[in-house]
Amino acid sequence: MFEIQREGFIDMRYCCHIVPKDVLDRFAEDTRLSDELREGMSRTSRVSDGVRTLRVQAGIFTTAVQASGAQFVQLAAAPTVTVYDCKQTQTPPGTLLVPPYGDPTAKRAFAETTKVANFYQALFGRNSIDNAGMTMMSSIHFGVKFNNALWNGAQMIYGDGDGQIFIDFTNGNDVIGHELTHGVTQNTLQLAYKGDAGGLNESLSDCFGSMFRQWEAGQDANSADWLIGSTIMGPMAIGRGFTCLRDMANPAATHCLNPQPINYSQLTPSTDPHYASGPPNLAFCVACKTKGGNSWEKIGQVWYATMTGTDATPNMTMPDFANRTRQVARKNFPADPTVFAAVDKGWKQVGL
């Protein structure tokens, strides 16, 4: 049903980008699309997959830095946010842009990245991606009609989309929050990108990306739509009935470009992380809706404490993560048993 199994799966096969490789490949083979659109999808797939090498090396460097204790030296009290223009080349970072920005894409990249920094600081007391004031750098207009946004291990890269299936990826504040959270995960749990850990890696980005979108809109958990990528869908995708990439409240929905399993029992060791994130996404959404109020006030705090309050565990399983969130809920909110009850209900709904 989900076409999620892959043969010969190896660590880090899938780069941390918002649009899964198989979605790009599916469009690249869709004969209903023009040759230009199909080639653009194929090109995006190849480039996105290739960027994984940079991210692997960045992850190794992060591990070495943390082992040396160097991450405890603070660069700045708050992160500097910079924007570069690749001018349709594939050579980041590109040309540094100086505010005030005349380019709407540059304005969005700067504004939303700054808001993500404020989100992590105000709600979780985190100083940038590495919690030490790391500069938050973005490169826009990457490639020609590049259909993705990604974290390459050191910075953000945004494509403009092809204008039909996807539009400018800086239009998605949840996309920006999602991808920057891959940097946070890189500097905390250091989750691998395979198996359960890979699914958790993607899920944490969806959870915090959705929380960021809700926080910016002032929405509580029960009024939010819990969609990921709804504002980057192009007219052709919408015309085919696709309203988003993923739906955290209903991961298997047919209106998603990236429908997911909803139960942990449906996952295999070779499940692409973009699909394996379905069960923990649903667990988080159910927990937030059950608790009520703002997702970031209680349940989001539990998820953040679980992500940052333990040593790096690159191969953490979903049952282990679920149990740790239960423990954190009891420990951090002893006077409010409804937090534990909500967390427990969420995980039980997906078989954990």
What residues pair up with 139 in beta bridges, in sequence order? 84, 157
C-alpha atoms less than 13 angstroms from C-alpha of 123 in its C-beta half-sphere: 24
DSSP codes, 73-133: S-S-SS--EEEEE-TT-S-SS-EEP-SSP-SHHHHHHHHHHHHHHHHHHHHH---TTTTS-
Residue with tokens 């427990």: 344
Q: What one-character DSSP code corresponds to residue 350?
A: T
**7 annotated active-site:** no
Q: Which of 159, 139, 157 has its CA nearest to residue 147?
A: 159
Q: Which of 17, 179, 182, 202 is catalytic?
A: 179
Q: 208: burial class by Cβ within 10 Å (0-12, 13-18, 19+)? A: buried
Task: Select which of 141, 178, 182, 274 is catalytic.
Answer: 274
Neighbours of 18 (CB within 10 A): 33
Angle between helix axes 318-332 and 195-217 (nearest 10 degrees) is 40
Which tokens in the block code for residue 185?
Answer: 């995960």
29 is catalytic: no
| Residues that are catalytic | 179, 274
